[in-house]
Structure 1
Amino acid sequence: MTTNTPKPEVLHYTAFSSTPDGGNPAGVVLDATGLGDDEMLAIAAGLGYSESAFLTAPPEGLGGRAYGIRYFSPRAEVPFCGHATVATAVALAERTGPGELVFATRAGTVPVEVTEVDGALRATLTSVEPRVEEIAAADLTEALAALGWPPADLDPDFPPRIAFAGARHLVLAAATRARLADLAYDFARLEALMHRLDLTTVQLVWRESADVFHVRNPFPVGGVVEDPATGAAAAAFGAYARELGLVPADAVLTLYQGADLGRPGELTVTLRAGDPRVRVGGAGTRIG
C-alpha cells in the first residue's frame, strides 16, 4: 500500500517593502516538519527566489514563540538570511499577532520583534555578534576584476573589508551612484572567488549622506545575479561602518536597495552603543 505525503504549504512574502512589487520575495514554509534537505532545496529551486525559509522545531530552552529555521537558495543552504527572516516573522504575526519571536538559525539565535503601525506589520531582527576582517590584496584585486571595477572607482573613505553578522559579505564602496548603477559582472569568476572566501554576497554601497546609503548585492553563489534586498548584508554593513568609525556608535541608517532592479526596498539599520549586535528592520507583506 502506498501513501501520499501532503505537500507543504508554501507562502510567498516580500520583505523590506509594504507593497508586493517591492523588496525581496521569499518563500516561507511555516511547517517544514518531515522535509529533508533535498526536498527543501527543491522547493527553493522551484520558487527561484534568492532564499526561502523553512520552520522546524526549536531547540529546547528557547521558550514561547521560538522556532528553528533553515534557509535555502536555489542552489544551497545558507546559514542566515535577513529578508527571509523578516518575511517569516511577518507571516507568523499575521497568524498569531505581533510581538517577540526567536529563531534558532545555523548562525546562532536571532530575536525578532514584530510591531504593527497603522495596520502594517514591521519586523526588526537582532543579529548575532558581528565581526569585521581585512581582505587580502590579491583577493580584492580578483573581486574588482570580476566586477569590472577599476580601483579608482572605489570610495577611498570606505576601505574594503569582509564583514559578518550571520553570514560573510565583502563590502565594497562605490565612489559614485553611476558606478553602483552600472553592474555587469563576470558571474562565474565572482562565484569562484566567493566560494573560496566563503562569502554569501558582495555588499556594494554608495553613500548619499551621513546616514543614507544605496546598496546592491551580487549573489552568484545562490544562483541569482542579484539579491533585491539583503538583511544579512545590511547587518554586516552596519557592523563594518561602526567598527571603522564611519558612523556614530549610536546611529540609525537607511539603506535603499532594489531600485536598479525595479523592486525598491528600504532597510533600517540600528546601532546601539555598548551592544555589538546590529538591528535590521523593515516592512513585509504577502504576495498574491
Structure 2
Amino acid sequence: MTNNVEVLRYTAFTHDPEGGNPAGVVLDAAELSDTEMLAVAAEVGYSETAFVTARDDERRVFRVRYFAPEAEVAFCGHATIATAVVLAERLGIGQLLFETNAGEIAVDTEIDDDTLRATLTSVPTRSRPAGEDELDEALVALGWSRDDLDPAFPPHVAFGGVEHLVLAAASRERLADLDYDFDALRSVMTRHGWTTVNLFWRESDRRFHARNPFPIGGVVEDPATGAAAAAFGGYLRVLGTGSAEFTVIQGVDMGRPSTLKVSIASEDGRTRVGGGAVPLDTPSC
C-alpha cells in the first residue's frame, strides 16, 4: 500500500540529526485515503507524519493533516515545523499558511545564521484548572503523587490546537524519573480527550524543561512537542506567570535534545513556537 508514497524524514526543533523529534512529511497526499495515510504513518513509526493533501504553491497555502501510528491528530507542532522547512527549501523562505483540522496555522520561514528555521503561530489558546478526578486518575497512571507537583503551578488542561494535561514537577529529578503505566494513561487520556500530558519543570522564568507522554498515538514519549509548547504558552498567560518569551528544553532524557523557542504572540493567546529542522538519512516507504 505504501510502496509508491514518497516520505521525507526530518527531525524538528534541532539542527542536529541526532536530536529533535523525527517527523514524516508527504508532500503529495491528494490521492491517499484516510486508511492509507494511517498505514503510512504506522509504517514510518514516528510520533506523527504530516500529509499535504492539497496545495497552492503560488499563494503558499497548504491543506495539511497529521497522523500518528494509531490515530489522526488535529494538529502537530513538530511535523508543522518539519513540513514548513521542507516547503521553504523548495519554494523559498517566507510565510506559509497551513489549513489544519484545528484551524489555520501561519508559519514564517527564515534563514538565521545560515540555518533554515520555521516559526508557527497557533490557533487561540485557552487553559482551565484540571478537575480533581482528572488529576487523581492521571497521577495514578503516571505513578506520581500530589507531593511530586510544584504548588506554584496548578494543574491545568491547556489547548493550543489540541488539549494537553499540564503538570509541574517539583524537581528536575522527578521529571527525569518517568516510568508510567502506558495502557492506564492512554485510557485516562482517551476518556478526557488529551493528546499528550505536558510534564514540566521550571529552571527559570525563561527556561523550562518538559516531557510529553503520548500513549494515545501509540508512542511512549515525544522528544519535542510544538503543540504542547503552544498550549503551555497559553497556560502561562492565563496564570500571569513568567516571561512573554521563553525556551522549552525537551528530549534530553530520551537522548534526543530539542529546543523550542516560544512567545506569546497576541492578546487572544496565540502562541509562536519556532525551531529548526534537518533531514534524516533514512529510506522512503
Category of TM-score, reference length = shorter chain: over 0.9
For the pair 1:9 / 2:24, whether they are aligned, the reply is: no
**TM norm structure 2:** 0.96
Q: Map 1:251-270 onto structure 2 (within 5 A).
A: 251-270=244-263
Q: Map 1:230-249 onto structure 2 (within 5 A).
A: 230-248=225-243
Q: How many residue pairs end up in the alignment? A: 281
Following superposition, the deviation at residue 63 of structure 1 comes to: 7.5
Deviations 1:74-111 (A, max 9, x none): 00000000000000000111111111000000000000
Which residue matches 2:269?
Answer: 276
Following superposition, the deviation at residue 118 of structure 1 comes to: 2.6
Query: Which of residues 156, 178, 183 in structure 2 aligns to 1:183?
Result: 178
**TM norm structure 1:** 0.95
Following superposition, the deviation at residue 175 of structure 1 comes to: 0.5
Distance 1:98 1:20 in 2: 21
Q: Map 1:90-109 onto structure 2 (within 5 A).
A: 90-109=85-104
1:65 partner letter? R
Distance 1:272 1:13 in 2: 26
Which residue matches 1:32?
Answer: 29
Which residue matches 2:193?
Answer: 198
Structure 1 gaps of 5+ residues are none
* Counterpart secondary structure, 1:200: strand
For the pair 1:227 / 2:222, whether they are aligned, the reply is: yes
Which residue matches 2:144?
Answer: 149
Query: Which of residues 26, 49, 52 in structure 1 aligns to 2:49?
Result: 52
Q: Is the 8 A contact 1:58 1:104 kept in 2?
A: no
* Counterpart secondary structure, 1:57: strand
Distance 2:113 2:175 in 1: 34
For the pair 1:287 / 2:280, whether they are aligned, the reply is: yes
1:271 partner letter? I
Q: Map 1:210-225 onto structure 2 (within 5 A).
A: 210-225=205-220
Following superposition, the deviation at residue 242 of structure 1 comes to: 1.0
Distance 2:252 2:2 in 1: 41
* Counterpart secondary structure, 2:32: coil
Deviations 1:124-173 (A, max 9, x none): 00000111122210110110011011110100000000000101000000
Distance 1:275 1:247 in 2: 17
Distance 1:115 1:234 in 2: 20
1:130 partner letter? T
Which residue matches 1:208?
Answer: 203
For the pair 1:170 / 2:165, whether they are aligned, the reply is: yes
The structure-2 alpha-carbon separation of the partners of 1:261 and 1:102, relative to structure 1 and needing over 3 Å to count, comes to same
Distance 1:115 1:54 in 2: 22
The structure-2 alpha-carbon separation of the partners of 1:5 and 1:231, relative to structure 1 and needing over 3 Å to count, comes to closer
Percent identity between the two aligned chains: 59
* Counterpart secondary structure, 1:133: strand
Following superposition, the deviation at residue 272 of structure 1 comes to: 3.6
Distance 1:273 1:83 in 2: 21
Which residue matches 1:111?
Answer: 106
Distance 2:66 2:147 in 1: 37
Distance 1:237 1:63 in 2: 34
Q: Is the 8 A contact 1:52 1:72 kept in 2?
A: yes
For the pair 1:125 / 2:120, whether they are aligned, the reply is: yes
Following superposition, the deviation at residue 119 of structure 1 comes to: 2.1
Which residue matches 1:73?
Answer: 68
Distance 2:215 2:265 in 1: 32
2:44 partner letter? L
> Alignment RMSD, CA only?
1.6
